[in-house]
Amino acid sequence: MKAFAYHQPGQIPEAAKLLAAEPDSKLVAGGMTLIPTLKQRLASPPALIDLSKLPGLKGCTDNDATITIGAMTTHAEVAKSSLVRARIPALAALASQIGDPSVRNRGTICGSVANNDPAADYPAGVLGLAATIITNEREIAADNFFRGLFETALKPGEIITAVRFPVPLLAGYAKFKAPASRYALVGVFVAKFRDGVRVAVTGAGPGVFRVPPMEHALSQGFDPASIAAIRIDTDNLTSDIHAEADYRAHLVTVMAKRAVQAALSERPAS
């Protein structure tokens, strides 16, 4: 690990100023991806900016039609939140499946969303629920936020402060885990709203993506049988040591059906 400067700002404007002053610097939330990357010398930023002391970035709040989760809220806190479990139980279930206890107790929602790992769980939940990513400068719709492999719409000096989730009528998440890492080999988040259904897939390709044919079919009839015959094109799917593209395509349909069944089995509280 190479030497670097370390900053622990006490306010968001100070953190943003530090980040803008040194564009190659890295923000540290839980550090679940960054620290191993530094140890392996795959990254050598000139400075780390620790967000752990910034006020007001933790916790879950309710605003009738939405819930908002602070950027530094850990996966474990989301999984255990009585508010999330009552309003969007599928999101709590998603958080409970991330990594192992040490990862869930250190990793944060903002770290996962900002990193945009192609096999991470949160991007599927954020995109599937049509969430809004709130930064120190603006609000970004999930459909405009994720831009491919580890790429997002965040600009230099921009810091995620919270994520706002619309409360769906029904939602479910299912994933096929890679045995060692517990990352999603394929994960599918399904959410039903009054104006339609959204289906978001993680792990299968270079980034999270939606599946319009499934969304249309489920809007007509929210039942696993509605999507049983839908096959996913393998052209943009990943083939690696864990699974070939055609197997991942098969898993998308299987996990989508399970996600729908999970949604039907566990309804959010009114």
d(CA 159, CA 51): 10
Which domains can be identified in the chain, with CATH numbers? 1-50 (3.30.43.10), 57-265 (3.30.465.10)
Task: Check pLDDT > 60 for residue 125.
Answer: yes
199-253 residue pLDDT tens: 999 999 999 999 999 999 999 999 999 999 999 999 999 999 999 999 999 999 9
Whether pTM > 0.85 for this model: the answer is yes
Q: In whole angstroms, what is the distance from residue 90 CA to residue 239 CA?
A: 28
pLDDT digits (tens, 9 = 90+) for 177-210: 988 888 999 999 999 999 999 999 999 999 999 9
Task: Return the beta strands (E) in the chain as ranges.
Answer: 5-7, 26-28, 47-50, 60-63, 66-70, 132-135, 139-141, 160-166, 170-177, 184-193, 196-202, 209-210
pLDDT at residue 101 tops 50: yes
C-alpha torsion angle, residues 28, 29, 31, 32 (rounded to 10): -150
Q: How far apart, in whole angstroms, are the C-alpha atoms of residue 60 and residue 37?
A: 30
How many other C-beta atoms can be found within 10 angstroms of the C-beta atom of residue 247? 16
pLDDT at 270 exceeding the cut of 80? no
pLDDT band per the 50, 70, 90 thresholds, residue 259? very high
What's the pLDDT at 267? 55
Q: Mean pLDDT across the chain, nearest whole number?
A: 93
- CA dist 66 and 161 (Å) reads 16
Residue 142 to residues 27, 90, 115, Cα–Cα distance (Å): 21, 17, 14
DSSP state of 195: T
3-state secondary structure (DSSP) of residue 139: strand
Q: Report d(CA 220, CA 197) in Å as an integer.
A: 9
- What's the one-letter identity of residue 269? A
pLDDT at position 269 is: 37
Instruction: Give the tens place of pLDDT for each residue, 133-158.
Output: 999 999 999 999 999 899 999 998 89
The answer, yes or no, to whether residue 109 has pLDDT greater than 60, is: yes
